[in-house]
Amino acid sequence: TSTFDYSAYHTLDEIYTFMDLLVAENPDLVSKIEIGRSTENRPLYVLKFSKGGTNRPAVWIDTGIHSREWVTQASGVWFAKKITLDHENDEGLAAVLEQMDIFLEIITNPDGFAFTHSQNRLWRKTRSKHSGSLCVGVDPNRNWDAAFGEPGASGNPCSQTYHGPYANSEPEVRAIVDFVKSHGNVKAFVSIHSYSQLLLYPYGYTDTPAPDQQELHELSGKAVAALSSLYGTKYKHGSIITTIYKASGNTVDWTYDQGIKYSFTFELRDTGLYGFLLPAKLIVPTAQETWLALKVIMEHARDHLY
């Protein structure tokens, strides 16, 4: 993995090969877990970074739930390598790994990702088919059992925000739900999207403030400040519904309602010209700055275990 080109976009196969190499190079730190299969029967892999122990408190990070947001999967690759490089030398990360495991799902929506490479670069959803509609796919960020199907998602299968026939209908979502529930000790959950330059916390389905709103707001503010310190990239932070719009059935509302207090969703670069067609030369700077924010969240979770 030392010669892998982190400043380029890669296909699904290349990223899966990268994961295998990373595991092979770091057998005492990294392992690969298959948590399920996608609609088209692709494996859903999670990298586990652990220094031992059983069922330790955990941080979950996922990238690429919306397949066309290529900078997120590319950043996930970079994060994985970064953890292996810094796990001993970086005091903060080392301290996190002394107490916690990190789970990283780099390709959360592999069917969609493969489709973006072969058919439609701008595909966002899963690739599931539904009776009675010619349209394919469900928005996996509206498919969670948190005010599922309520305003803030679409019932139209052709919409980009189609919530699906029922909560957890998408195997990509179901796999995470099952994993999080069976693990039972996830303390921080960060789901990464692009491109709006935001760091958001629950709720999306209601404007009732989350019970931990004050702490989440302060923490996201610190995370955004750390992010901006590297390249001056401007981020906003706040609850989903007050910062962007109402979004029912979304990932981090579900995780928060499961008791995972430190639930956040990122929107990475950029709000400028390119959007989903972000030039590859911006991958590494985006990942570098995001990593600083992730570290703030992880270290806070470690220092405030509950």
Partner 1 sequence: FETFVGQQVLRIIPTSDEELQKVQELQELEHLELDFWLSPRGLGSPVDVRVPFPSLQPLKAHLEANGISYSVMIEDVQALVDEEQSQMLRTPRGLP
Which range, of 29-37, 50-58, 120-128, 224-232, touches partner 1 by CB under 8 A? 120-128
| Burial degree of 111 (CB within 10 A; 0-12, 13-18, 19+) | buried
How near is the Cβ of 260 to partner 1 at its closest, in Å? 26
Q: 170, 172, 267, 289: which one is catalytic? A: 267
Q: Does 121 bind partner 1 (CB under 8 A)?
A: yes
Q: Does 284 bind partner 1 (CB under 8 A)?
A: no
Give the residue with the Cβ less far from partner 1, 123 or 262.
Answer: 123
Give the residue with the Cβ less far from partner 1, 155 or 211.
Answer: 155
Do the beta carbons of residue 288 and residue 82 sit within 8 Å?
no
Q: Does 45 bind partner 1 (CB under 8 A)?
A: no
Characterise 248 by phi-psi region: left (phi > 0), alpha (psi -120 to 50), beta (else).
beta
Give the residue with the Cβ less far from partner 1, 179 or 235.
Answer: 235
Give the residue with the Cβ less far from partner 1, 120 or 229.
Answer: 120
Q: Which of 275, 284, 299, 300 binds partner 1 (CB under 8 A)?
A: 275
Give percent helix, percent strand, percent coil of the chain, each to the nearest 5. Answer: 40, 20, 45
How near is the Cβ of 131 to partner 1 at its closest, in Å? 20
**What secondary structure letter does DSSP report for 4?**
S
CA angle, 8 as apex, 116 and 136 as ends, to 5°? 10
How near is the Cβ of 120 to partner 1 at its closest, in Å? 4
Label each residue of 234-287 as H, E or C: CCEEEEHHHHCCCCCCCHHHHHHHCCCCEEEEEEECCCCCCHHHCCHHHHHHHH
Contact set for partner 1, span 158-177 (CB under 8 A): 158-160
Tokens 């995780």 -> residue = 255
- Nearest of 67, 92, 276, 81 to residue 172 by alpha carbon: 67
How near is the Cβ of 245 to partner 1 at its closest, in Å? 6
Site string for partner 1, 208-247 (x = CB under 8 A): -----------------------------------xxx--
Known catalytic residue at 91: no
How near is the Cβ of 7 to partner 1 at its closest, in Å? 9
Question: Which amino acid makes up residue 217?
Answer: H
**What secondary structure letter does DSSP report for 209?**
P
- Based on DSSP, count helices (H) and strands (E) in the chain, helices before strands: 9, 8
Q: Does 156 bind partner 1 (CB under 8 A)?
A: yes
Q: Could you give the residue numbers annotated as active site?
A: 267
Residues that bind partner 1 (CB under 8 A): 3-5, 8-9, 14, 17-18, 21, 118-122, 156, 158-160, 195-196, 243-245, 271, 273-277, 279-280
